[in-house]
């Protein structure tokens, strides 16, 4: 920030030099500015506080320095309009303010009325930089400097020897991404959607490997499900194995979403979105203090979402609420309690069937299920944490989460590819229930200290995770559901009562129960070299069993236990502030492989990764980039054992490898131009297998994929954007018997902001798939079906903020 000051004796002489105006270079007169912005002004002299307000708020203040002499300010922290911030600083000071005709703000004693012409006074010009504030609800920043997922500590991304990509809500807002899937696959390199049981839960492929149902919320694993973005502040994707800090994980990486915080300044938002296919979505966001001392804060987010689809008979309805309370009695202690409730009814849709080595084309609305059977989900989450700072360097944090999901299954799915006649399809029905419940807790001690000139940033912690799944009454019916003719679709042509009367034939109980302790130290030398080392010791238990009845399943269920130590090392060298060169080596503790036929334990899956890359920050750290090369191997995959005469024997000698290059660039080129661009080259295939998979590419992983998105702020009120994604050909299954063709999709947006008193109204419209291309977003992992991308469509929005 460049500061230019001019003092003159003027009317009051040198002893009472009249000061002080400030003009933020990118703002007009802020007294007329009704837009809230972030302020952080420490307690101290009132004169200093007013200077900082003028500097950061874009105000031109004029006053006699004598009237502020000896006056103190309590400071200011939070989001205010500039005028509201000035009012708070002057409260109980005996001073008031008024607007001069030339737009200056004159500060004076309440009992006096200075008549001097403020236009004759010299001004102080301050040119300031915008600073990223993660809690600013009006933030337009695309680049985020910090993310806690990679290290569980507050370390800048530039100082972290791993690839961590962040999608803040500003990008999600510009793209109107109402699904996590859209926000990630368009804005993070090497990420694709993975499909399990239709659209029952959200799963992603990162660096070639599917994450299964392992989604994280504020560092804790969620039970299987879908998650509403109404309460999400930003999405963080940690590339590569992450089990060192989080326990058992698939090695490609993890998705962690960070929820919105309660703020100590009022903020209210009401948004109504409406789009193609009868999409109707209403969201509410309200936050602020509950007491005058701002020790008790709240936040309330809610969403109602309903709509149809371009797919025949496919619809959805979701209700979501998320209240939160924060207690902050002093600057050392903070406690938070959150609740989330979600209810969802939807149609189970597996996409279009496969014929030969391709999904069928020109039939993207064809629904092969039946609208008479629909599933539902009910989810309840309770989260609590507290943190205490012993001093500026040491702190303790404890977190707890309880998460439960009840699922009612209901759907009809293709059982195979299209038959030899070219138009009929065998199907099966799914009915039943499942309960998934998890408990998580962690305790972390963080600290900073120096030894022999070395700066240490340490983490020592432990966690416990428990997960239980019961599926006591599921039925996979292959006889009741009739054959489907894609040329003459018939629905409701089976006996629903007979289907429900069929006895259950699939039962399952599983449990994860593990403890972990971990440590990490990031050592800094000469402020340029950062060396990170750490490890985790897991004591993990797992059990999974399915019998011929629920009673047999419960009786046959048992747990097996495994221990493992996983190390991680990394190094960052920063020859200049704008460049970081890094590398890492990490091992991972993965999925359990169960028991052998003789009752012994198969070795659990494991992984190791080597990675090198560099990161940059340009344009006052508003534009960031990461370029990475990685080599990732997943070991101990199950495959046939050729050393025995029994062809069904298996052993854990299988291996899959993913290697590639990833590029992520996001941020602001100028104050007006924001940009996101990504590219990933991914070579992911089986490298050792005796089941016929060796040499095959992993399913749903394109060799090349890229994206580009940019917005330009043409005026203070009007913004427009354009972008697209390019995805290469993908294999539809692990046996590589069919392929999904590559595609290109273009999107666009326009937004207009109009202040209305103390509120602001944003009208926005987004258009997706501008060229109306037919494409496939991914294949189902265990069925020969392909999920279809939407045709040209639009989303409109009206958002009122105060």
- Other Cβ atoms within 10 Å of 434 Cβ, number: 19
Closest CA relative to residue 538, chosen from 590, 468, 611, 476: 590
pLDDT digits (tens, 9 = 90+) for 386-432: 999 999 999 999 999 999 999 999 999 999 999 999 999 999 999 99
Query: pLDDT band at residue 128, thresholds of 50, 70 and 90?
Result: very low
Query: pLDDT band at residue 649, thresholds of 50, 70 and 90?
Result: low
156-160, 509-513, 608-612, 638-642: least confidently modelled range: 638-642
Please say if the pLDDT value at position 340 is more than 90: yes
| 394 φ/ψ angles, rounded to the nearest 5 degrees | -120, 140
Burial 763-779 (b: 16+ CB within 10 A, else e): ebebbbbeeeeebbbbb
Strand partners, 344: 318, 377
pLDDT digits (tens, 9 = 90+) for 662-720: 999 999 999 899 999 999 999 999 999 988 899 999 999 999 999 999 999 999 899 99
Residue 762 is predicted with a pLDDT of 97
Query: pLDDT band at residue 10, thresholds of 50, 70 and 90?
Result: very low
Q: What percent of the chain has pLDDT over 70?
A: 90
Place of tokens 């030899």: 420
Domains 2-127 and 259-801 share a fold: no
Q: What are the structural domain ranges in the chain?
A: 2-127, 259-801
pLDDT digits (tens, 9 = 90+) for 441-456: 999 999 999 998 899 9
Residue 130 is predicted with a pLDDT of 55
- Cα–Cα distance, 647 to 641 (Å, whole number): 7
Please say if the pLDDT value at position 76 is more than 70: yes
Q: Which residues contact 291 (CB under 8 A, 6 or more apart)?
A: none
Residue 70 is predicted with a pLDDT of 76
Please say if the pLDDT value at position 18 is more than 50: no
Residue 112 is predicted with a pLDDT of 40
Please say if the pLDDT value at position 59 is more than 50: yes
Q: Which residues contact 131 (CB under 8 A, 6 or more apart)?
A: 38
- Cα–Cα distance, 108 to 279 (Å, whole number): 54
Residue 69 is predicted with a pLDDT of 79
603-612, 746-755, 771-780: least confidently modelled range: 603-612
Q: Please tell me whether residue 475 adopts helix, strand or coil conformation.
A: strand
Burial 741-755 (b: 16+ CB within 10 A, else e): ebbebbbebbbebee
Residue 5 is predicted with a pLDDT of 31
Q: 590 vs 212, 562, 641, 793, CA distance in Å?
A: 12, 11, 21, 40
Q: Please tell me whether residue 264 adopts helix, strand or coil conformation.
A: coil
Please say if the pLDDT value at position 467 is more than 80: yes
pLDDT digits (tens, 9 = 90+) for 232-286: 999 999 999 988 899 888 899 999 999 999 999 999 999 999 999 999 999 999 9
CATH node for 2-127: 3.55.50.30
Asked whether the whole model's pTM tops 0.85, one would answer: no
| 209 φ/ψ angles, rounded to the nearest 5 degrees | -115, 135
Residue 647 is predicted with a pLDDT of 65
Assigned token pair, 733: 């299954």
Residue 638 is predicted with a pLDDT of 75
CATH 2.40.170.20 fits 259-801, yes or no: yes
Which regions of 347-394 does DSSP assign to beta strands (E)? 352-355, 358-359, 376-389
Torsional sign, CA 309, 311, 317, 322: negative
Closest CA relative to residue 548, chosen from 506, 501, 499: 506
Residue 599 is predicted with a pLDDT of 56
Residue 387 is predicted with a pLDDT of 97
pLDDT digits (tens, 9 = 90+) for 272-326: 999 999 999 999 999 999 999 999 999 999 999 999 999 999 999 999 999 999 9
Please say if the pLDDT value at position 338 is more than 80: yes
Strand partners, 382: 339, 402
158-167, 221-230, 633-642: least confidently modelled range: 633-642
- Cα–Cα distance, 439 to 752 (Å, whole number): 44
Please say if the pLDDT value at position 583 is more than 90: yes
pLDDT digits (tens, 9 = 90+) for 506-537: 999 999 999 999 999 999 998 899 999 999 99
Average pLDDT for residues 538-567, to the nearest whole number?
A: 92
Average pLDDT for residues 62-79, to the nearest whole number?
A: 79
Residue 102 is predicted with a pLDDT of 62
Assigned token pair, 275: 């789009």
Please say if the pLDDT value at position 27 is more than 50: no
Average pLDDT of the chain is 88
Query: pLDDT band at residue 15, thresholds of 50, 70 and 90?
Result: very low
Q: Which residues contact 345 (CB under 8 A, 6 or more apart)?
A: 316, 317, 318, 374, 375, 376
Query: pLDDT band at residue 115, thresholds of 50, 70 and 90?
Result: very low
Strand partners, 528: none
Residue 65 is predicted with a pLDDT of 78
Residue 408 is predicted with a pLDDT of 95
Residue 539 is predicted with a pLDDT of 94
Half-sphere exposure of 735 (CA within 13 A, CB side): 7
């Amino acid at each position: 920030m460049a500061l230019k000051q001019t003092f003159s004796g003027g009317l009051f002489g040198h002893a009472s030099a009249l000061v002080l105006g400030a003009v933020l270079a990118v703002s007009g007169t802020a007294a007329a500015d009704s837009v809230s912005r972030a302020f952080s002004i420490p307690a101290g002299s009132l004169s200093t506080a007013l200077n900082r307000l003028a500097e950061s708020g874009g105000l031109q203040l004029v006053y006699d320095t004598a009237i502020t002499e000896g006056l103190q300010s309590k400071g200011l922290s939070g989001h205010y309009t500039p005028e509201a911030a000035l009012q708070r600083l002057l409260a109980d000071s005996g001073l008031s303010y008024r607007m001069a005709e030339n737009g200056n703000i004159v500060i004076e004693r309440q009992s006096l009325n200075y008549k001097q012409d403020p236009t004759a006074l010299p001004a102080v010009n301050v040119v300031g930089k915008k600073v990223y504030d993660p809690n600013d609800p009006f933030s337009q920043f695309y680049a985020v400097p910090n993310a806690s997922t990679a290290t569980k500590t507050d370390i800048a991304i530039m100082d972290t020897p791993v690839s961590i990509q962040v999608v803040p809500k500003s990008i999600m807002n510009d793209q109107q991404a109402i699904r996590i899937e859209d926000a990630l696959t368009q804005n993070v390199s090497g990420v694709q959607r993975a499909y399990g049981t239709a659209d029952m839960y959200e799963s992603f492929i990162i660096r070639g490997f599917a994450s299964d149902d392992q989604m994280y919320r504020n560092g804790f694993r969620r039970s299987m499900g879908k998650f509403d973005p109404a309460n999400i502040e930003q999405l963080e994707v940690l590339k590569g194995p992450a089990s060192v800090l989080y326990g058992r994980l698939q090695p490609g990486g993890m998705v962690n979403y960070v929820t919105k915080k309660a703020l100590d300044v009022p903020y209210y938002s009401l948004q109504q979105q409406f789009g193609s296919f009868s999409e109707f979505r209403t969201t509410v966001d309200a936050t602020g203090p509950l007491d005058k001392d701002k020790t008790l804060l709240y936040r309330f987010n809610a969403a109602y979402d309903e709509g149809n689809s371009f797919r025949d008979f496919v619809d959805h309805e979701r209700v979501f609420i998320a209240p939160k309370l924060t207690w902050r009695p002093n600057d050392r202690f903070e406690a938070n309690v959150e609740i989330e409730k979600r209810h969802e009814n939807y149609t189970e849709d597996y996409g279009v069937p496969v014929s030969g080595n391709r999904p069928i084309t020109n039939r993207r609305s064809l629904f092969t299920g039946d609208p008479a059977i629909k599933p539902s989900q009910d989810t309840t989450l309770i989260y609590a944490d507290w943190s205490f700072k012993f001093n500026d360097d040491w702190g303790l944090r404890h977190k707890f989460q309880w998460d439960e999901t009840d699922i009612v299954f209901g759907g009809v799915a293709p059982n195979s590819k299209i038959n030899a006649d070219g138009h009929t399809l065998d199907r099966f029905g799914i009915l039943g229930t499942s309960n998934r419940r998890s408990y998580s807790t962690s305790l972390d001690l963080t600290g900073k200290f120096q030894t022999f000139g070395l700066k240490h940033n340490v983490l020592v912690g432990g966690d416990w995770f428990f997960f239980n799944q019961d599926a006591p009454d599921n039925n996979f019916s292959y006889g009741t559901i009739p054959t489907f003719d894609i040329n003459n679709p018939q629905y409701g042509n089976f006996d629903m009562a007979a289907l429900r009367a069929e006895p259950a034939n699939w039962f399952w109980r599983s449990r994860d129960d593990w403890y972990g302790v971990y440590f990490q130290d990031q050592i800094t030398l000469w402020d340029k070299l950062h060396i990170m080392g750490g490890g985790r010791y897991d004591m993990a238990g797992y059990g999974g069993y399915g019998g011929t009845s629920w009673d047999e399943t419960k009786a046959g269920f048992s747990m097996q236990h495994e221990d493992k130590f996983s190390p991680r090392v990394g190094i960052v060298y920063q020859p200049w502030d704008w460049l970081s060169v890094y590398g890492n080596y990490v091992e991972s503790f993965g999925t359990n492989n169960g028991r052998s036929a003789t009752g012994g334990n198969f070795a659990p899956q494991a992984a190791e990764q080597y990675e090198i890359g560099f990161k940059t920050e340009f344009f006052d750290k508003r534009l960031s980039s990461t370029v990475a090369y990685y080599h990732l191997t997943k070991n101990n995959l199950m495959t046939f054992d050729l050393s025995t005469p029994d062809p069904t024997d298996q052993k854990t000698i299988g291996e899959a490898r993913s290697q590639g290059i990833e590029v992520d660039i996001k941020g602001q080129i100028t104050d007006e131009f924001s940009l996101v661009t990504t590219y990933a080259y991914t070579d992911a295939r089986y490298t050792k297998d005796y089941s016929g998979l060796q040499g095959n590419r992993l399913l749903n992983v394109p060799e090349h994929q890229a994206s580009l998105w940019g917005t330009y702020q043409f005026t203070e009120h009007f913004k427009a954007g354009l972008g697209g994604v390019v995805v290469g050909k993908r294999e539809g299954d692990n046996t590589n018997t069919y392929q999904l063709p590559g595609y290109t999709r273009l999107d666009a947006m326009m937004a207009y902001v109009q202040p209305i008193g103390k509120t602001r109204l944003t009208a926005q419209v987004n258009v997706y798939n501008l060229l109306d291309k037919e494409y496939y977003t991914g294949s189902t992992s265990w069925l020969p079906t392909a999920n279809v991308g939407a045709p040209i469509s639009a989303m409109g929005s009206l958002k009122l903020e105060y």
